[in-house]
Amino acid sequence: MGDQIEAATRDSVGAGIYEQSEIIDKQLEHFNKLMKPLVDAGLILGMHAGNHEMRLYKSSGLDITKWMAKQMGIKYFSWGKLHYLVVGKQGYKIYTTHGASGTRLAWTKIKSALDMSNLADAEIYAVGHLHQLSHHIRNFYSINLKNKKVIEEQKHFILTGSYLNHWGSYAHMKSLEPMRKGSPKLKLGGLEHSIRVSI
């Protein structure tokens, strides 16, 4: 979902270059070591660019996420990607993005995910960047053309969380609320069309 590495440079906002625990080269090695087993197991579809990696693009013109994805042998999703996943007999439309928002409050953070429905038509919207683990369901009415009936359907809006240690971080410096660490889990039905999200 982006921000795979810290990637602080001399031009970055704040003192990140002095606070990051590894230089960028070591961050890349560390990332590859962590992700390779997941890639080899077929558990990673691709990578989004995040604002942290874009620091390098801004200072040098190098899109490091594109090269990280190429080295791993996975797809590069850039800022946003509309996916169609087939699970068994069912298909699911999903829009994923790193996102870009300076919101600070829980309800304005989930609103940034809700706003993605203005951009793309999907059943599931997943947004990173905001360091919050949240899930919201929006019910709406639609027409089942096969049965010629009005049906109630759902769209799922997910903030994909983070693993940031809050104390002493830039989030702490900005007096942002500490957030629960972790990632969401999605279970997509293969026989019946069903979406389950656990956070």
Q: Spell out the SS3 assignment of the chain.
A: CCCCCCCCCCCCCCCHHHHCCCCHHHHHHHHHHHHHHHHHCCCCCEEECCHHHHHHHHHHCCCHHHHHHHHHCCEEEECEEEEEEEECCEEEEEEEECCCCCCCCHHHHHHHHHHHHHCCCCCEEEECCCCCEEEEEEEEEEEECCCCEEEEEEEEEEEECCCCCCCCCHHHHCCCCCCCCCCCEEEECCCCCCEEEEC
User: How far apart are alpha carbons 4 and 112 in whole angstroms?
Assistant: 21
Give the percent of the chain with pLDDT over 90: 67
Beta-bridge partners for 149: 144
Under the banding of pLDDT at 50, 70 and 90, the label for residue 187 is: very high
Where a domain ends, among 37, 54, 77?
77
Where a domain ends, among 77, 107, 141?
77
Check residue 84 and give its pLDDT: 98
Beta-carbon contacts of 179 under 8 Å, excluding residues fewer than 6 positions away, are 131, 132, 133, 161, 162, 164, 166, 171
Q: Is the pLDDT of residue 47 over 80?
A: yes
Beta-carbon contacts of 74 under 8 Å, excluding residues fewer than 6 positions away, are 39, 44, 45, 46, 47
More confident residue, 56 or 83: 83
Burial grade of 1 (CB within 10 A; 0-12, 13-18, 19 or more):
buried
Check residue 130 and give its pLDDT: 87
Mean pLDDT, residues 66-77 taken together: 96
Same-domain status, 50 and 129: no
- Token readout for 160 is 């994909």
Check residue 14 and give its pLDDT: 67
User: How far apart are alpha carbons 126 and 156 in whole angstroms?
Assistant: 8
Check residue 145 and give its pLDDT: 94
Same-domain status, 182 and 86: yes
Averaged confidence pLDDT in the chain:
91
Same-domain status, 60 and 90: no
Same-domain status, 21 and 60: yes
More confident residue, 20 or 129: 129
Same-domain status, 71 and 90: no
Check residue 107 and give its pLDDT: 86
Same-domain status, 71 and 129: no
Under the banding of pLDDT at 50, 70 and 90, the label for residue 43 is: very high
Domain count, the chain: 2
Contact call for residues 142 and 154 (beta carbons, < 8 A): no
Where a domain ends, among 20, 50, 77?
77
pTM: 0.90
Check residue 87 and give its pLDDT: 98
Token look-up 């010629």 returns 148
Mean pLDDT, residues 165-190 taken together: 87
Q: Which domain holds residue 152?
A: 79-199
Mean pLDDT, residues 151-156 taken together: 96
